Each structure stands twice: as structure tokens, then as C-alpha cells.
Chain A
């Protein structure tokens, strides 16, 4: 399996005030590197309004903005760590606000082919210790090392 991680898709110390800002920054990186199509960022922003992706994981909230496979060229995960949390709505419960500092933006080209990746992602959301280590990483390669099983 091709790795879905790419150092170029990791951003630390982001100063964003809104989820739209962080989604745009990470989405543009994915576009620059050719992982997603021009339509991806707008599609993610639009989807986030209707189907929010904030996850109240144990100990630390995470958001996993994503959209339909038609906007994706190749599966990848962009990771953004914010200096200050921004508001996301909770998946399945749009009336609840969450304040994640760790954003994992997903581009999945075909979920049927990515069964192992999706399983690993679920394990990550349930691993408080790992999430906190990612959030506190000082260097990009620390995150690559922490997630080298993907």
C-alpha cells in the first residue's frame, strides 16, 4: 500500500480562527501536491456545513474534514496542528460544538480499497495517548514516526 502520509501535508503551529481557514490551508496543500482535484476544498467546506466531522475522542477532540471520492486523485491525509482550537460541530450531532486543535483532513479515493487505512484511523481516534503526542509534536517527522503504521 502506498503511504498516505506526506511530510508536505503536515502543518504545525497554525494560527487559524475558523474551521474554514484550516480546511482551506490543508486543502490547498493537498491540491498543490496533486492528491485532490480543484473541486476538493469547496466540496469539503460545503459538506462540513451539512455533515460536520468533529469527533469527541477520548481526552482530545479531533476533526476529520473530508468529502466524496470523486474529488480525490489519490488517498492522502493532511495533518494540521493549531496553536488555538477552532470550533467544529460534532459528527452526527450538529447542535454540539467541539474545539479540536488537531485536524486530520482525509482524501479517500475508494473506501472499499482502504479498509485497513479506515480501520487504523478509527484506532487512532480511540488512542488518547497517541492523539496527544501528535498534537504536541514539535517537528513534522515526529508525526510521521508516530503514524508510521498507516
Chain B
């Protein structure tokens, strides 16, 4: 089982980042991935990236700056409005990095 580490970002680092983290665990879990997540607010992204390694960032609040890993807008995943596009993007990314 492949491990995936995801940094989830929302305005408070609590509510929607946790929703997304939970749903990523379920969705990717069904595809055979073991998902670990860390939830932060936009201000916490830099320090999280400097202290841990992640496969990608999933955000519902805009984040600014240059990152070495992909950052994907997860609002569609949260609302169901664009959910499949989000999942496709994540799966493509994970397949490419294998």
C-alpha cells in the first residue's frame, strides 16, 4: 500500500481542511493509498513544508508563494461541484510521481 502525505489548507486550519482531509482518506483509501494529512491555515504552510515532506497541497483558501510540490484547489472536492475533476487531478499526480 502506497503512502501519501497531504497538506490540507483552509482559512482556520480546522473546519474545511479537516473535511477535505477526511474525504481524501476515504477516497484515496478506496484506491489503495494510505493517506496521512496535516491540517493548517495559509500562514502555516511554509513551516509545515519546512518540517515535513508532503506529496501535494490541497487548499480551500488561496495560498500564495512558490512551492516545490503541486498545490490543488480542493473547493470542488468539498462541495461536490467539480469533485471528479479534483479526484482525477490528484490520481494523475500520484501516478506520475510513482
Q: Which residues of A contact B (CB under 8 A)?
A: 47, 50-51, 53, 55-58, 64, 66-69, 90-94, 106, 108, 111-112, 114-115, 118-119, 121-122, 125-126
Among B12, B22, B61, B73, chain A packs the most CB atoms within 10 A around the CB of: B12
A–B pairs, 30, beta carbons within 8 Å: A47-B11, A50-B11, A51-B11, A51-B61, A53-B11, A55-B79, A57-B81, A58-B80, A64-B15, A68-B13, A69-B14, A91-B16, A92-B60, A92-B62, A92-B73, A92-B74, A93-B75, A106-B15, A111-B39, A112-B18, A118-B15, A118-B18, A119-B22, A119-B23, A122-B19, A122-B22, A122-B78, A122-B80, A125-B80, A126-B83
Are A57 and B39 touching (Cβ within 8 A)?
no
Are B14 and A111 touching (Cβ within 8 A)?
yes
* B contact patch SS: mixed
Cα–Cα distance between A91 and B18 once the two chains are bound (Å): 15
Contacts of A112 in B (CB 8 A): 18
Are A125 and B79 touching (Cβ within 8 A)?
yes
Cα–Cα distance between A100 and B18 once the two chains are bound (Å): 23
Partner of B19, one of A58, A94, A118: A118
Cα–Cα distance between A115 and B21 once the two chains are bound (Å): 10
Q: Interface residues of B, CB < 8 Å — how many?
A: 24
Contacts of B10 in A (CB 8 A): 51
Q: Which residues of B contact A (CB under 8 A)?
A: 10-16, 18-19, 22-23, 39, 59-62, 73-75, 78-81, 83
Are B22 and A51 touching (Cβ within 8 A)?
no
